[in-house]
Structure 1
Amino acid sequence: MLKHKMNNLAGAICAVILLPFTALSATDLTFEESHFRYSQEALANAQKEIKVVDIDVSMNNTDARILFLKDPNDKSTFAAGFSIDGEELKGRIKSFGSSTRALRKKSIILKVKGSTWKGYKNIALNSMSSDGSMMRGWMAWEMMRDMGMMVPETNYVRLTINGEFIGYFLYIEWLGNRFLERNGYDSSSELYQASDNTYCGDFRHKSDTEKCWAKLAPRGGDHSSMKAFAKQVQSAPMESFDSFIASSFDDDSLINWIVANTLTSNGDTYNKNYFMIKSGQSKKWKVIPWDYDLTFGQTFDQFVPFPESLFNDRFQYYYTPDLGVFNPMKAKAFLNERLKGKIYKQLKHMIGKEKDGPEKTFGWFSPTVMNARIENLARVLEAGQVKQKHGARSPEAFVEQYDAVSHFGIARPFYLEANLFSTFEWSYRNTPQMKEYIAFTKGEDLYPEDIAKAESDAAIASQKDAEKRALHAKVKEEYHPPGEAKQALDEHEFMAKLLMKPYSGRAATADLGKSLIVYDPGYGYFLTRLDFKSPFKIVDFQTEAEGFKPPMYMFEGVSPDQCIQRSWVLFSRIPSLSSKADVTFEYFDEHSQKNELGGIKNEHKVNLWVHTGENWKPLRTEVNARSNTLTVNNFQINAGRIYRFIACAAAESPLWSVPVNR
């Protein structure tokens, strides 16, 4: 029985403004002329055989047990022998890492004595403990390598100790002299690593170069090159920043770094987690990216303490390219029209919108190619995840992990296209970071907390506070110039309030495969995925989603807190079409202060209910609590019917809800 009458539902649907339609087949790997295209070389590259290196370690049994039980700050090593793809070596072994050292499956360093492996004394094996899919870091390195960036060699490793399988690790090439030689850099080249501090390697005026940048090669305390570069970054005019980049950087190193961070949604950089190298011959710089485990949907929750802030079940694909702290290199690149054009051109090439560029990378990040790559990786990694000694997951848990990465690969290109290349084009000038940039150009850094303090009425205690308020007033004046239309308003929010409408999208396709994505072209949010069970000549569907509020209509006996704070409406725009499909919806769970969970504690107890105009019916639902997606399989969609869906964890729900399956 309805809690509210639904007499006006059909009329409300008919009143929806018709939006431009788009199409995507996410499962068919042969469609060429769909929404996002790709080259056959990119697809073949995604399906290539994944190299796995076998490393067997021999060591004292007691030491082997202690190795993964050590205190995170214990840097002691143990004697060991190493067999690497049949090559016998000797040396010592120790655990290493930062936040992941507190986890049971620790990262490992093998220190070779008396010889080398591939010219290296140190063999670093990353545990990938922060990534339940074990795919994110590998994919990021592969993508940047295919883009022509200078990145370390990486390989998956099957690690056994004394014959016992420990798990899969990721070998990451040691960034030292051998790495420089392999990439054509001589002994006069300089390699720097940004310090792991919140505000340090971001080239602000306040940054202490010697404190913020460790010089790795050549060894020594001379930071003069980095100091000079920092001053140039700080003083170079935005209008001619493209000329500065052309004269200071090799290749498109900075552009590609920004593009890679934008695609993978990497915000844990621009102030740390990257290296800078200056060639001794060309005297030009390159960015060497680092640490891509918290990417592809993994999100940081700043509202909870460590370790939950890093290791959580939150998920997102809808961060704009300004993600991460302010860095004048990033800011000036987005504000300089020529550099912004290069960034956008590369993004369009990578997601499959414009072919201009290498065949190998055309559509590298398109949904079809990403889906193929992730399925390929899953076949290799599943056994290792399920059987590894530390941090093992059930088969269902691993499927949920990699299915979430796949959802990111499908949703992210749509989001980027809608926000960067559509009606309401994203602009760096409209971001909160613009306040920091304006303060920076005036010669005084204002960190976000400084700006918040300057904006507070309580900041009146001292002359210093008054000066900050005066500076902030100037910033605000430039950010919102008097007498001008306030371009810095979020146009998406403005239009949503103006029209008082929910998220809405329409999609159509003809003979292009079995799947269809419906998304909101204003926000770029994923709304529905339909995987059809039978061929069709043409389909045309519309979806609406009312988010961040309890469902307007519910069945009797359920509380709004027992439901996801979102509801969906789905219908076919072709009156004669009846079809059967797997239907997937999503909800938001970005962090503890922005989610649609309501009072739900266990998302796996949620299932979808559908109303077709007669009554509510529970549906057997596959739940992915990682990607926040709900799927009902083999759903019959009849012509002329309007389907309203809600998702609740009512008493009946555990009988209907099941883990996501592949």
Structure 2
Amino acid sequence: MGPTVHLLQGVIHVNETNLQTYKLFIRPQDLSALKENIWSDDPVTGSLTINNKKLDIDVVYRGSHIRKFKKKSYHVQFYKPKTYRGATEIHLNAEYKDPSLIRNKLSFDFFSSIGVLTPKAKPVVLVLNGRQEGVYMELEAVDENYFKNRGLTIHSIFYAVDGDANFSLINDDRKPKNSLDLGYEVKYGTEEEQLLLNEFIFKTNTLTKAEFEKEIIKYVDVDKYLKWLAGVVCTQNYDGFVHNYALCRTENTGLFEVLPWDYDATWGRDVHGKEMDYNYVRIEGFNTLSARILDISNFRSNYCSLLNDILENQFTIEFMEPKIADLHGKIRPHLLTDPYKRDYIKNFDEEPQFIMQFIKDRNAFLQAELKKF
């Protein structure tokens, strides 16, 4: 019998912890230019004041489909000073289609708890040119500084920017790729690193089963990959297998590992904020690399053991409920001044229960699938 879902005791209580206020200033003419061409990636200058410290920045809208929303998300790059709190850039996400506003943060904390290298996230309040813009989620950028701040030397960082980053020779339209690194954007790394990525993808698709088992461990940290795969499967990020990740190679292992990114469409909701059935994503996920790895009995056994442990310990109501309650409580008082979300406070208050019900149902589904897997 599965765990009973309890209503959070703190969901409608005010949390005394205030969120930091970030004051963003963009000259009116530059803000108008951004609004006139939301798809432009050319930044404008501005300033961001945090804790009474004024920072000169470059800023532009971020994301793909989210640029169409009324509440914009921002990519901020510091240039005077060039770094702030060890970062040269941050992302300010509006979380516009997530009625809970916590799914990104909740996902990253969950991934971290199961041993996956993960960006930090925290809720803040944004004021733009003196006008309340409401609650945002600050997301840490995955770049050279991300690894430097963790005492790691990085060789390469590739962003999976669309569904072509599927570890396959076939693109998202089921046609042969004209480039093996299609779907990736080079964030950091030399041409040699790009050739290594191409080699890795080529071998993933062309080696025999026996060859693959011996060779893949020279390219990928399989244990870490399986942890990431289990995290995507649990949180049910439908795009997460071929998109929404960073592929990185560090000096300490010399192997590729995967970091999650953009996890607002999770915990039972899709990219439009609509309910997604708890059994929508299968237990093995989907992409070519996962299929080949799970075809090896030893790797498959390790995945089953790992996923079973996560379902018993981290992906549970007992483990996640305090985190959900804490985030909900911190954000709620500030939602009342959010011009885009204050009329949806009822939906916001229903989300903790919704997420917990998803955890209960998804956990039971995956436990049942494990017995057959």
User: Would you say the 8 A contact 1:137–1:291 is kept in 2?
Assistant: yes
Which residue is equivalent to 2:169?
204
Between the aligned partners of 2:182 and 2:69, the Cα distance in structure 1 is: 29
**Residue 248 of structure 1: aligned partner:** 219
Identify the residue that residue 316 of structure 1 maps to in structure 2.
Answer: 277
Matches within 5 A, 1:120-199: 120-186=87-153, 189-196=155-162, 198-199=163-164
Contact 1:240 1:336 in 2 (8 A): no
Aligned length: 360
Q: Give the 3-state SS of the residue equivalent to 2:238 in structure 1.
A: coil
* Residues 335/220 of structure 1: CA separation in 2 closer, same or farther (3 Å cut): closer
2:297 aligned residue (328, 337, 348): 337
**Deviation of 1:351 (Å):** 2.0
**In the alignment, which residue of structure 2 is the partner of 1:346?**
306
Q: Separation in 2 of the partners of 1:140 and 1:233?
A: 28
Structure 1, residues 514-562: CA drift from partner, whole Å, max 9, x if none?
xxxxxxxxxxxxxxxxxxxxxxxxxxxxxxxxxxxxxxxxxxxxxxxxx
> Structure 2 matches for 1:23-34, cutoff 5 A?
23-27=2-6
Q: CA deviation at 1:257?
A: 1.2
Q: Which residue in 2 is equivalent to 1:393?
A: 343
Task: Specify whether residues 253 and 107 from structure 1 end up closer, same or farther in structure 2 by C-alpha distance, changes over 3 A only.
Answer: same
The 5 Å alignment of 1:247-326 reads 247-250=218-221, 252-280=223-251, 282-299=253-270, 310-311=271-272, 313-321=274-282, 326=286
The reply on whether 1:229 has 2:200 as its aligned counterpart is: yes
Structure 2 Cα separation of the partners of residues 141 and 238 of structure 1? 33
Structure 1: how far apart are the matches of 2:227 and 2:242?
A: 17
Structure 2 portions without partners, runs of 5+: 9-14, 171-175
Give the one of 69, 84, 103 matched to 1:117: 84
Q: Kindly tell me: are residues 313 and 250 of structure 1, through their superposed partners in 2, closer, same or farther at Cα, counting changes over 3 Å?
A: closer
Q: CA deviation at 1:117?
A: 0.7
TM-aligned CA deviation for residue 76 of structure 1: 5.2
**Per-residue deviation, 1:223:** 2.2
SS in 2 for 1:394: helix
Higher helix share: 2
**Is this contact kept in 2: 1:276–1:285, CA < 8 A?**
yes
Could you tell me how far apart the structure 2 residues matched to 1:270 and 1:367 are?
25
Q: Is 1:367 matched up with 2:333?
A: no
1-structure distance, mates of 2:35, 2:316: 42
Q: Secondary structure of 1:178's partner?
A: helix
Q: 1:396 to 1:121 in 2, by over 3 A?
A: same
Shift in Å, 1:64 = 8.7
Map 1:31-70 to 2 at 5 A.
52-60=19-27, 62=28, 66=32, 69-70=35-36
For the 8 Å contact 1:123–1:171, the answer to whether it is kept is: yes
TM-score w.r.t. the length of structure 2 is 0.85
1:263 positional shift: 0.5
Change (3 A) 1:242 1:156: farther
Change in 2 beyond 3 A, CA 1:85/1:251: farther
TM-superposition CA deviations, 1:62-107 (whole Å, max 9, x none): 3597488444224454443322133331223332221100001111
Q: SS at 1:287's partner residue?
A: strand
Residues 131 and 294, structure 1, Cα contact 8 Å, conserved in 2: yes
State the identity as a percent: 18
When residues 176 and 243 of structure 1 are mapped into structure 2, their CA distance, relative to the original with a 3 A threshold, is same
SS in 2 for 1:261: helix
Distance 1:199 1:215, change over 3 A: closer
Check 1:67–1:375 CA distance in 2 against 1; reply closer, same or farther (3 A cut): farther
Would the alpha carbon gap of residues 366 and 312 (structure 1) be closer, same or farther in structure 2, given more than 3 Å must change? closer
Conserved? CA contact 1:50–1:377, under 8 Å? no
Q: Deviations over 1:547-578 (max 9, x none)?
A: xxxxxxxxxxxxxxxxxxxxxxxxxxxxxxxx
Cα-to-partner distance string for 1:181-209 (whole Å, 9 max, x where unaligned) = 2344436x12222241x344332363422
1:432-471 alignment to 2 at 5 Å? none
- Closer, same or farther in 2 for the Cα pair 1:249/1:101, shift >3 Å? same
1:293 deviates by: 1.5
Partners of 1:221 and 1:391 lie apart in 2 by: 47
Structure 2: which amino acid aligns with 1:224?
L
Structure 1 residue 59, shift from structure 2 partner: 4.4
2:68 paired with 1:107 = no
> 1:457 matched to which residue of 2?
none
Change (3 A) 1:296 1:28: closer
User: Structure 1's 239 and 411: CA in aligned 2 closer, same or farther, altered over 3 A?
Assistant: farther
- Mapped to 2, the partners of 1:96 and 1:399 lie a distance apart of 28
Within-5 A mapping of 1:404-423: 404-421=354-371
Give the Cα separation in 2 of the matches to 1:28 and 1:92.
Answer: 43
Q: Deviations over 1:380-427 (max 9, x none)?
A: 122333421234433212123343222212221111112223xxx1x4
Residue 77 to residue 391, structure 1, CA distance change in 2 (3 Å): farther
1:125–1:334 CA distance, 2 compared to 1 (3 A): same
Aligned partner of 1:609 in structure 2 is: none
Query: TM-score, length-normalised on structure 1?
Result: 0.50
Cα deviation, residue 322, structure 1: 5.0
Say whether the 8 Å CA contact 1:105–1:391 is kept in structure 2: no
Shift of 1:245: 4.5
For residues 255 and 41 of structure 2, the distance between their equivalents in structure 1, rounded to whole angstroms, comes to 36
**d(CA) in 2 for partners of 1:132, 1:214:** 30
